[in-house]
């Protein structure tokens, strides 16, 4: 009998010795997923919950290639944002739920989503300001990579096409001398510098949706920031308007204000584009 106990003890010891940290993590994940099925549906005993309807799509997993919506019930807390709720759903219910986020201070621009039919930042949108159920989708007019993640490559290409960096041929003779800007000129471009490259405005623009070559409101706003900076000089300004004054540039904007309405940084995008149009006309007027 003692021999049998010894064999069982050695077997248990061997099992413990062969179990890896990865095995333990997978066992814990399986246990969490098992518990998630019990807490997905709210009960009368539950505290106040937030009902999320989240878009799901995974082109690399059989059975998940057809787009659908999954329901999550997340415990509500005062001050909770949509990003907080998504993170809770991912951590407690489904670890495969995929979305972008970074600093959670409404300045990184990576968590722009289509929330209840409007482009918003997940980290800035308060749950208490929304009507339930809260419908969370990826940004429209962009290719979906997985779940709430979209391909931003085209957006970045448009942004870089306007040369979004300071350029000047009129540098001070002394390398230690500052290249000063007037207060008035700084005030003129101040709002345009707030862009966080989130892509919400581009996603809301019907013109950009139908014209893949249109620079779009974000890129035009970035061009405004430098075209109106008097430190660059007239030669550089003329070069910038050669980029903007084209078929798929400022003239494609139809002044719908959708970009201005969804901008999370309250940039007057439509106003900036209209001013670029006026400057383009003046730049083309020659009286000699």
Q: Where are the domains of the chain?
A: 35-150, 153-172+180-284
**Minimum mean pLDDT range among 30-34, 139-143, 259-263:** 30-34
Q: Where are the alpha helices (DSSP H) in 177-268?
A: 183-189, 200-204, 206-210, 217-227, 234-244, 258-262
Average pLDDT (20-47) is 52
Distances (CA, A) of 168 to 172, 239, 284: 10, 11, 21
> What pLDDT does 3 receive?
47
Q: Using one digit for the tens of pLDDT, what is the confidence trace for 210-245? A: 999 999 999 999 999 999 999 988 888 889 999 999
Matching CATH number, 153-172+180-284, of 1.10.1060.10, 3.30.70.1230, 3.40.1170.60, 3.40.50.10310: 1.10.1060.10
Q: Using one digit for the tens of pLDDT, what is the confidence trace for 54-92? A: 999 999 988 889 999 999 999 999 999 999 999 999 999
Note whether 126 and 80 are within 8 A (CB).
yes
Q: Is the pLDDT of residue 29 over 70?
A: no
The angle formed by the CA atoms of residues 70, 84 and 154, to the nearest 5 degrees, is 75
Largest interatomic CA distance in the chain:
112
CATH architecture of 35-150: Roll (3.10)
pTM of the model: 0.79
């Amino acid at each position: 009998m003692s021999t049998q106990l010894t064999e069982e003890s050695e077997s248990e010891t061997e099992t413990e010795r062969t179990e890896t940290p990865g095995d333990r993590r997978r066992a814990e994940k399986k246990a969490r997923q098992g518990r998630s099925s019990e807490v997905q549906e709210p009960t009368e005993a539950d505290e106040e919950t937030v009902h999320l309807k989240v878009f799901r799509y995974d082109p690399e997993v059989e059975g998940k290639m057809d787009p659908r919506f999954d329901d999550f019930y997340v415990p509500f807390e005062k001050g909770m944002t949509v990003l907080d709720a998504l993170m809770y759903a991912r951590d407690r219910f489904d670890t495969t739920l995929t979305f972008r986020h970074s600093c959670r201070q409404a300045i990184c621009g990576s968590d722009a989503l289509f929330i209840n039919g409007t482009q918003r930042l997940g980290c800035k949108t308060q749950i208490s300001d929304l009507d339930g159920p809260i419908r969370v989708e990826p940004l429209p007019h962009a290719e979906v990579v997985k779940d709430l993640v979209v391909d931003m490559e085209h957006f970045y290409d448009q942004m870089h096409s306007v040369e979004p960096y300071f350029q000047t041929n009129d540098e001070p003779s002394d390398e230690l001398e500052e290249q000063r800007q007037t207060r008035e000129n700084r005030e003129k471009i101040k709002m345009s510098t707030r862009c966080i490259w989130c892509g919400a405005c581009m996603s809301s623009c019907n013109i950009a949706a139908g014209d893949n070559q249109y620079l779009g409101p974000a890129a035009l706003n970035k061009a405004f920031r430098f075209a109106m900076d008097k430190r660059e000089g007239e030669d550089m300004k003329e070069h910038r308007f050669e980029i903007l004054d084209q078929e798929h540039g400022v003239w494609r904007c139809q002044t719908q204000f959708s970009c201005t309405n969804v901008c999370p940084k309250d940039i007057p995008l439509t106003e900036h584009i209209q001013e670029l149009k006026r400057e383009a006309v003046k730049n083309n007027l020659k009286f000699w």
